A and B are shown apart, each in its own frame.
Chain A
């Protein structure tokens, strides 16, 4: 086993060169280069974290704006609905008033017309009576040769008409 057989001859050289080369490795690579590599990693991690934070902030701001927009939108919609309702209300009131006026006018016209009809009917009845009276006088004179006075004839006619 050379490790033991050569120990006496080689240990000093082994230890010396190991210290030399491991020393170089430690001081040049470990102390000199590794911190820079890790620094780069840390920088990148920082950059990523910062970017993520910025993105999150932007998203939050966007959410906030959307929320504000939504609130405003809701307000606008409510206002619009109020205006529409008011207009509808007004229109309904107006049309109701108009309808009422028209109804009144119609009622009045109807009443007048009924009055006129009544008058016309009364006049017509009076006419029929007078005509019937004259006719009755004529018929009696012709058939019986009796001259009947007007009031008598009228009375008889009225009786007959009342009987129907």
Chain B
């Protein structure tokens, strides 16, 4: 039996989510946000706080969100997974309609989003902050099954960091922790190096005869001089980092024997093997036609509207926003700007001037934090860094020993402050 078009349309319209507010007031409109991470949750909160004429719906498949930031502290045993996991109740109490559903399709022509239960959600402006998918198979042998033995610990929605934590705890003293780190671009550029630091701290404390070997598919990384100074100072003899030119690129993995194999065929065996695989924009962004051949979503740098599909604003790690990094803070900055642009477009005004902003803190030891800052404005084809601004924390050699200790201590404290502030903004 085939459903007639008329019957289908009647059924579809019966399932429409009806907006709560009248659309008569100036600048009013239905804003639907897909994805409840740093981009989506920040967008929802910012819209509710500053643009009361907007009717805001947040669609997120999970009832809770575990942050990637501070996951490395869970790995080191300094935080619990519960302390980095949040719910959407407060956003709902602020007037955001939260739908805990999977999105099955986006129809930009009809301006509707279809959910797994068949509901269709109409929108005037769509925001997508879909996050990332891992490229299974990009490293030969590294598929979802392999990740149970060789955890990635990189996307909490796929695998909790606690799996890697358990393996680290079970590792014998004198064991080897092997890490594979991908080439750019990937989520959280300093993340693997904060992870090296946090694992090394745990090993030094609990399993001092152990080693960490990090195999990297590139030759340089975020905050590199600061991390390498700290490893030498805090974890001598524990951390070995190998870049691409020192045969650091992992080409295939052998989960049965817990080995990774490099470009030149060297096999390294780990007691724990952490593989952070190459990544791409999440499926829903690919299905909606937002990605280009790179697997990521190009956006108009002045507004964060998709460069490929009109009426959809794209935020966060899924976007091509370089030189902005794929970070939670960056996603929240994209979110606020995109919401302001959307509000302006609904009110018939020009978009506001864009200043995008990011600060990423990393913990490298107890009371030892470092940071990178960036301030960005839109250029003709991409964002550009504001000249003379931003950069990384000063290196050890540039400071007196007293100032150095104070600086690292303050940045560790401020990292905690940033985390408390931004998670409170999204979920508090």
Q: Do A and B bind each other?
A: no
A residues at B contact (CB < 8 Å): none
B residues at A contact (CB < 8 Å): none
